[in-house]
Amino acid sequence: MFRWKATAALAVAAALTLTGCAGDNTGGGGDGAGAQLTLGAIAAPTSYDIGAGAEYGNRSPFFQAVFDTILQKNSQGEIEPWLATAWEYNDDNTVLTLTLRDDVTFSDGTKLDADAVVASLERFRDGTSPQAATLAGKTFAAPDATTVTITQTAPDPSLINLLSIAPGLVEAPSSFDNPDVSTNPVGSGPYILDTASSVTGTTYNYTANPNYWNKDAVKYDKLTINVFDDVTATINAIKAGELNGAKIADNNTITEVEGAGWTIESNELDFQGLLLLDRAGTMAPELADVKVRQAINMAFDRPALLQSLQTGYGTVTEQVFPATSVAYDASLDSTYAYDPAGAKALLAEAGYPNGFTLNMPTTPAFQQTFDLVAQQLSDIGITVNYTDPGAANFIADMLAPKFPATWMALEQNPDWQLINFMIAPNATFNPFKSEDPKVDALISTIQTGSQAESDAALKELNKYLVDQAWFAPFFRVQGTFATDPNTNLEFWPTNAYPSIFDFSPKN
């Protein structure tokens, strides 16, 4: 699916043409001891070096197999101790102190201690991984072998979560200068990559780490992850019994997958809809009027769009915060009923009785989506003037910014990450640097207030954004993962690919 992730900033071209190809597979799982877990993925890691290619999303299992994170998420998406057994902030939430386990070694036999954790955090911060900027401005220290401090100039409510995903990965410093660091990872994770039998970009074979500190968490002796370059290859592997689990990139194939006797697990991480970027009206004066933005929201028949574009697999929504957020309010999803006549009336009140023309980008890969958007806006008098900047330039031109509005699929990140991804004045997907005094004040409270104050401000911010129609979301898209009859899975709600710790063989 065409999407932009804060955790995996894939270019449009890469999103349209997934890397890798179907590889040979030795077959499905076992019954406990000695079992083999074979998984299908849709994107291979660009590099195992955490300073260059570490990311979660659809590439997470490759990193989770060989590296531990400082903290861990369980199958409910809750943060739990992992390499760090305890953590605590100072009074103003600018210094986080972590207490580490003292019984962990890397796969090359070197000790995992506070110095190693600090080195990994610094490598990630100073590197080129998609999320490197999340640690910008933070400094790290190791007062002793089992203590790490993270100091920041201002509170970062997302930090604990970040330590459970890519920024929290810990790599052996002894491997940093290895010539094969990008293809031969050295970590403390539950598995060790068998480089001799693996084929970069296609097939990744792992064996259980015999010295892993948390043996109860490892359910399989062997793990294989095969990368598929198209949906058909995945379906063929499922029907041939060559997999235990697979990411399903096209929900239109769900019926076929279920027909093979597989179980469907799902979550909803992305929303699709319009980003009304030019809220000050510098490029499209009409968008400065909240009535115009509200009218645009009323133009869309969201249930019909969900059915047409996703075969109904997803949930209609009018808010950018996910259902897992404290900010989420189900009642907000009925703010803007589909009402073309009412939308026309609002446009007339705003001074546009004859409508206006709105410039937006397009790309052929999603022609049906763009056609439906143009049709529904046309029904209320807004003419869409599309320009195709080319797939490689779609994101760059949007963020330049060269367009006042656009259709987009975006990940619904945890709250503070979402704010700094879409809403704050310097957010990536706020290219016009839109500001609003109330929004700025609420963001400040979310960052520096007590937990109760922050939660209340999040709820108020979400409602204000919906009322002010900063965006026009259509629906959340179902992310789908399938498992064979031999495999149990608890699919966490916070990542596109399941945690490898949440697979287990059925007895």
Indicate the pairing of strand 222-227 with strand 36-41: parallel
Residue 84 identity (one-letter amino acid): A
**DSSP secondary structure string for all residues of 177-209:** T-TTTTTS--BSSSEEE-TTT-BTTTEEEEEE-
Q: What is the pLDDT of residue 299?
A: 98
What are all long-range contacts of 327-336, with beta carbons under 8 Å and residues at least 24 apart? 327/415, 327/458, 327/459, 327/461, 327/462, 328/462, 329/459, 329/462, 329/463, 332/462, 332/463, 332/466, 335/297, 335/466, 335/467, 336/294, 336/297, 336/298, 336/469
Q: Which pair of structure tokens corresponds to residue 108?
A: 């090359």
Alpha carbon of residue 185 to chain centroid: 23
The whole-angstrom separation of Cα 350 and Cα 286 is: 8
Residue 133: which residues within 8 A CB-CB, separation 6 or more? Answer: none
Q: What is the pLDDT of residue 408?
A: 96
In this predicted model, what pLDDT tens digit does every residue of 146-177 receive, in sequence order? 999 999 999 999 999 999 999 999 999 999 99
Q: Which pair of structure tokens corresponds to residue 115?
A: 């110095």
Mean pLDDT of 286-305: 98
The whole-angstrom separation of Cα 2 and Cα 309 is: 13
Closest among 93, 208, 227, 191 to 151, alpha carbons compared: 93
The residues with which 359 forms a beta bridge, in sequence order, are 385
Q: What is the pLDDT of residue 168?
A: 98
The whole-angstrom separation of Cα 470 and Cα 477 is: 20
How many Cβ atoms sit within 10 Å of the Cβ of residue 455? Answer: 16
**Mean of the per-residue pLDDT values for the chain?**
92
Q: What is the pLDDT of residue 199?
A: 97
Indicate the pairing of strand 79-81 with strand 487-489: unpaired
Report helix, strand or coil for 50.
coil
Mean pLDDT of 87-101: 97
The whole-angstrom separation of Cα 34 and Cα 220 is: 6
- Structural domains of the chain sorted by starting position, each given as residue range(s) with its CATH number in brackets: 12-262+484-505 (3.40.190.10), 270-477 (3.10.105.10)
Q: What is the pLDDT of residue 17?
A: 27
Residue 92 — pLDDT band, cuts 50, 70, 90? Answer: very high
Find where tokens 């879409």 sit. Answer: 422
Indicate the pairing of strand 68-69 with strand 169-170: antiparallel
Mean pLDDT of 384-396: 94
In this predicted model, what pLDDT tens digit does every residue of 345-370 receive, in sequence order? 999 999 999 999 999 999 998 999 99
pTM of the model: 0.88
CA distances from 59 to 62, 182, 278 (A): 6, 14, 33
Q: Which pair of structure tokens corresponds to residue 249?
A: 């990139």
Q: What is the pLDDT of residue 229?
A: 85
CA distances from 344 to 293, 379, 425, 469, 485 (A): 12, 9, 31, 16, 53
Q: What is the pLDDT of residue 130?
A: 87
Residue 362: which residues within 8 A CB-CB, separation 6 or more? Answer: 370, 386, 387, 388
The whole-angstrom separation of Cα 362 and Cα 398 is: 10
Q: What is the pLDDT of residue 34?
A: 63
**DSSP secondary structure string for all residues of 421-478:** IIISTT-TT-TT----HHHHHHHHHHHHS-HHHHHHHHHHHHHHHHHTTSEEEEEEEE
Is the separation of the CB atoms in 360 and 403 below 8 Å? yes
pLDDT at 225 exceeding the cut of 50: yes
Q: Which pair of structure tokens corresponds to residue 261?
A: 């006797």
Query: Cis link prior to 401 (omega < 30° from 0)?
Result: yes
pLDDT at 308 exceeding the cut of 60: yes
Q: Percent of the chain at pLDDT above 90?
A: 91
Is the separation of the CB atoms in 24 and 224 below 8 Å? no
pLDDT at 96 exceeding the cut of 90: yes
In this predicted model, what pLDDT tens digit does every residue of 4-51 receive, in sequence order? 343 333 333 333 322 222 222 333 333 344 699 999 999 999 999 999
In this predicted model, what pLDDT tens digit does every residue of 56-87 receive, in sequence order? 999 999 999 999 999 999 999 999 999 999 99
Is the separation of the CB atoms in 485 and 261 below 8 Å? yes
CA distances from 242 to 65, 163, 256 (A): 20, 34, 16
Mean pLDDT of 235-248: 97
The whole-angstrom separation of Cα 195 and Cα 110 is: 20
Q: Percent of the chain at pLDDT above 70?
A: 93
